[in-house]
Amino acid sequence: MSYAIEMRHIRKEFPGIVANDDITLQVEEGEIHALFGENGAGKSTLMNVLFGLYQPDKGEIYVHGEKAVINDPNDATRLGIGMVHQHFMLIDKFTVAENIILGREPKKHGMLDMAKAVKIVKELSEKYGLDVDPNQKIEDITVGMQQRVEILKTLYRGSDILIFDEPTAVLTPIEIQELIAIMKRLVKEGKSIILITHKLKEIFECCDRCTVIRRGKNIDSMAISETNPTDLASMMVGRKVHVQINDAPYEPKEKVLEVSHLSVLDQRKVSVVNDLNLTVHGGEILGIAGVDGNGQTELIEAIAGLRKVKDGSIKVDGQDLTNQRTRKIIEAGLGYIPEDRQKHGLVLDFSVGENMVLQTYYKKPYAQSGFLKNKVITKKAKQLIQEFDVRTPSEKTLARSLSGGNQQKVIVAREVDRSPKLLIAAQPTRGLDIGAIEFIHGKLIEEKKKGKAVLLISFELDEILHLSDRIAVIYEGRIIDIVNPKETNENELGLLMAGRRKGGAEA
Amino acid sequence: MIKLVKKINWMTLLVPVISVILGLLCGAVIMLVIGYNPILAYQSIVESIFLQPYYTGETIRAMIPLVLAGLAVAFAFRTGLFNIGVEGQLMAGWLASVACAIVFGHLPRVILLPLSVLAGGAAGALWGYIPGLLKAKFKVHEVISTIMMNYIALYTTAYIIKNFLYTEGERTPTIPAAASLASPFLANLTQGSRLHWGFIVAIIAVVAMWFILWKTTKGYELRAVGFSPDASQYAGMNVSRNIILSLTISGIFAGLGGAMEGLGTYQYMTINSTFTGIGFNGIAVALLGLNTPIGVVLSGALFAGLQTGGLTMQSNAGVPVELIQIIIALIIFFVGSGYVIKWAMGRLTRKGHK
């Protein structure tokens, strides 16, 4: 039997590290094959070899049973290999159809035949159930739709082997379900799919087989029906995984955060938080569930003093902090793990040590009368690196060169160490692998046990359900319901998040 | 200081060094094409700078304003700002120091000299503060506003000299000796060059920049804002205030550079019809020096040496002195294409491994 893709004994070395060490990947015709591993395990390197972006040092590639030499992405396209990148490569001002045909435009008498382009895109879209409007501009459509445009781009170029690079990282739960349906449809129409992922749930929902790699090495390949999530997770991490569950008793203390009648505008001066009320107590984790874009970001930015409050008030520990400077709010006891860790959480070109004191550098003991005490900072950094198990060569290493998980650990270490009364964690585990997720969840629970108030915002329902003591559902800038995680499930939450209010569910 | 050297990444050091070599090589090719002897030309530059005390002194003299201008650009750059207004800040500082020296000419030297130097720094600070304020409050891009401030400085200084401080020769009167940085001792040492005590000010400024940026909390803030205004804001820093502060400090360096010319090299200020060019060369100095204090000193020395030695190149090898400007431009061009150099080096080393 021939494979759609067979990569034999691939080795790829970079200065200092072996990214792929004797990896073999066999993808059968018409299957969804998961390439499973932690961040930095070598998944992307392997796929870049397949797509012609890297040349392997050793090993061979076979496409539909024939030996192939792939020197660049054009070769890959010619062989019918298409890649749906994690970061979309689309031109915002162009329409869907224009983006899809870019580089391979249908022509009539040497002129661009836009009518034909629209027709082709429409046909492809219908055939695979993608439901895309070819005439809309990219800037006007949702992220989920943009991803479908990326899929269409590969289909338009005649790909029959599609690589999806962590496609669900940017999607909402509903969009993920739709994407899975689309992938199944593609396979039914004769395509083969390689799904790069580190999320177990996706694998069990849609994949046929799975190849696990760890630290650049091939661990195992198996049919999904013959394995289970626990085994697969251990295989990926290389040790037993403990799922962190918020099992500490729920004993709410005094009110720490009180948001009342809050209204906030976004950049376009549209009101995105509307008369919102929310209270978080010490000793509890309050999870905010909601579809992206329902005011979560603006709510926490308003709490942190990064966005002007139009109406209403915000109190931390009884102190009115409405429209105060961020520094004052931080000093009043706010810890904040921002959603975009690279843009907002770290100064990437600062060392790990310098990042550890990003809010406290001007205070004792890190400074005295305006002068930094670098020795104290270094000592603190070393202590936190050890305490929070940040994998970095030293505290002098630039934050930029750390992996996503370790960058997040730096932020968590910094915020938790300041011992804030209120800790806001926005998407704290987005894009992280199981090991790092486990660690960060553990830290959040620890904070709760210490009697701190934790406000958790996440688009991952699992995360919300696992960690929260109470779940507040946000919809169009309002908290439309507060539910007890023990008395609810994903379906009910999903309905609430879509704005359908259920009677009697209030807790 | 040892720590400072350690901070340098050898790979990034490669780009300026290779740029200089390529610039000199290309200059040599141009000389060959026109029919001059490049070896003789470069030889005369090196010999004059290192063997003739007069040219050594003139090189150091030329370094003083170049280094200060370079520090000004580099400092702003560290905070993520592109200060093209060093030229204007320098002119403002130049006039302010000369004017102060003349107006308060009756004061004793111990007061007058420092006062005049400070006046130069203060005028530069003001000229940097205004674009900083405009950027922080009204989001006016500093590149635009600093260029405009250059023209305001050019014509305002001309106006002030013409109406208030005019003397024959289209210039201000010469400053009183009590405010002068010139030194017969240094002049004798270098066979009559114009080398003056200003080099001490430049050294202090170099150390000050390093100290401010890496040893103080304000410097930490300025660097954080420079690398990532977003993360700095999230961490509770006041981004606007840092922008103003950065351009103001940058302006002080530039203003001091002008004061060194006014109190040291020339002892007066002429009515300029065009820019002095020192401020613009400061951009090149900072760029080549990788925006580090030590780098600015080294690249300042290189540019000053080329400019001073270029004169002997003309007399000894017959090569027109303008060629030096071409070489400097080529070096800047190669530094600007640093990415290409890094890429080429990467390729070469990778090939070497295979």
Q: What is the pLDDT of residues B66-77, one digit of tens each?
A: 999 999 999 999
Q: CA-to-CA distance for A416 and A423, rounded, in angstroms?
A: 8
Residues 281..310 of A with a Cβ closer than 8 Å to B: which?
Answer: 304, 306
The H or E element spanning position A51 is none
Contact B236, B305 (CB under 8 A): no
Interface residues of chain B, partner chain A, Cβ below 8 Å:
214-221, 223-224, 227-228, 230-238
**pLDDT at residue number B10:** 66
Q: CA-to-CA distance for A339 and A283, rounded, in angstroms?
A: 23
What are B278-311's pLDDT values in tens digits?
Answer: 999 999 999 999 899 999 999 999 999 999 988 8
**pLDDT at residue number A81:** 94
User: What would the mean pLDDT of A42-54 be, rounded to a whole number?
Assistant: 89
- Residue B145: exposed, middle, or buried by beta-carbon count in 10 A (0-12, 13-18, 19+)? buried
* Domains delineated in chain A: 5-237 (3.40.50.300), 255-333+420-497 (3.40.50.300)
Low-confidence ranges of chain B (pLDDT < 50): 1-7, 351-354
pLDDT of A44 higher than 90: no
User: What would the mean pLDDT of A80-89 be, rounded to a whole number?
Assistant: 88
Q: How many alpha carbons lie under 13 Å from residue A214 in its C-beta half-sphere? A: 15
Q: Which of A132, A181, A138, A184 is nearest to A156 (CA)?
A: A132
Chain B residue numbers with beta carbons less than 8 Å from the beta carbon of A329 are 236
The H or E element spanning position A416 is helix A404-417
Chain A residue numbers with beta carbons less than 8 Å from the beta carbon of B237 are 327
E-strand spans in A294-442? 309-316, 319-320, 334-337, 367-368, 371-372, 422-426
| DSSP label at residue A487 | G
Residue with tokens 């141009």: B30
Q: Mutating which of A347, A361, A369 best tests the B interface, going by the most B Cβ atoms within 10 A?
A: A347
Residue with tokens 């302006």: B251
Minimal Cβ distance to B233: which of A306, A346, A374: A306
Pick the range with the lowest mean pLDDT from A121-125, A445-449, B300-304, B341-345: B341-345
Residue in chain B lying closest to A397 (CA): B7
Q: Which of B52, B17, B272, B50 is nearest to B159 (CA)?
A: B272
Q: Mutating which of B4, B228, B233 best tests the A interface, going by the most A Cβ atoms within 10 A?
A: B228
Q: CA-to-CA distance for A136 and A307, rounded, in angstroms?
A: 31
Percent of chain A surpassing pLDDT 90: 62
> CA B174: distance to chain centroid?
24
**pLDDT at residue number A503:** 53
Q: CA-to-CA distance for B194 and B187, rounded, in angstroms?
A: 6
**pLDDT at residue number A502:** 56
Q: Which residues contact A380 (CB under 8 A, 6 or more apart)?
A: A353, A356, A357, A366
Q: Which residues contact B259 (CB under 8 A, 6 or more apart)?
A: B93, B94, B96, B97, B116, B117, B119, B120, B121
Q: Which amino acid is at B141?
A: H
Residues 312..341 of A with a Cβ closer than 8 Å to B: which?
Answer: 325-331, 336, 338
Pick the range with the lowest mean pLDDT from A104-108, A451-455, B198-202, B261-265: A104-108
Task: Report ipTM (2 d.p.).
Answer: 0.83
Pick the range with the lowest mean pLDDT from A37-46, A98-107, A360-369: A37-46
User: What would the mean pLDDT of A390-406 be, rounded to a whole number?
Assistant: 87
* Domains delineated in chain B: 2-353 (1.10.3470)
Chain B residue numbers with beta carbons less than 8 Å from the beta carbon of A346 are 228, 231
For A305, the token pair is: 């003093």
Neighbours of B349 (CB within 10 A): 11
Q: Which of A466, A362, A469, A345 is nearest to A413 (CA)?
A: A345
Chain A residue numbers with beta carbons less than 8 Å from the beta carbon of B235 are 326, 330, 358-359
Residue in chain A lying closest to B230 (CA): A344
Q: Do B231 and A358 touch (CB under 8 A)?
A: yes
Query: Quick check: bond before A365 cis, omega within 30?
Result: yes
Q: CA-to-CA distance for A396 and A373, rounded, in angstroms?
A: 15
